[in-house]
Amino acid sequence: MAGDHKAGHLADHIGRLGLELDECLLVGDVVDAAEQVGTRCVLVTTGMAEPRSSGKRDFP
C-alpha cells in the first residue's frame, strides 16, 4: 500500500474515532503516513524496513 493511501486510511480512522491529531501516536516502522497526516510517531524495528530508511526525522 502506498504511503498516501496509508495516510488517507489513517486520517479516516482518526476522524471516525473522533480524535484530535495531538491525541494520537502512531507506532510503526515507517513515518510517511504520520508525517502526511500530522500526528506523532514512534519508530520500531520490525524487519520490514531498514532502520536507516527512516532518515533524520523528528521521531523517537
Listing DSSP states for 18-59 in one string gives T--GGG-EEEES--HHHHHHT-EEEE---SSS-GGGG-S-S-
Higher-confidence residue of 42 and 56: namely: 42
Task: Give the residue-averaged pLDDT of 52-59.
Answer: 56
> Grid coordinates in use for 51?
532502520
Q: 10-55 pLDDT, tens per residue?
A: 999 999 999 999 899 998 877 888 889 999 988 887 776 665 555 5
Report pLDDT for 1: 44
Task: Say if residue 7's pLDDT is above 50.
Answer: yes
Report pLDDT for 51: 55
Rounded distance between C-alpha atoms, residue 13 and residue 44, angstroms: 21
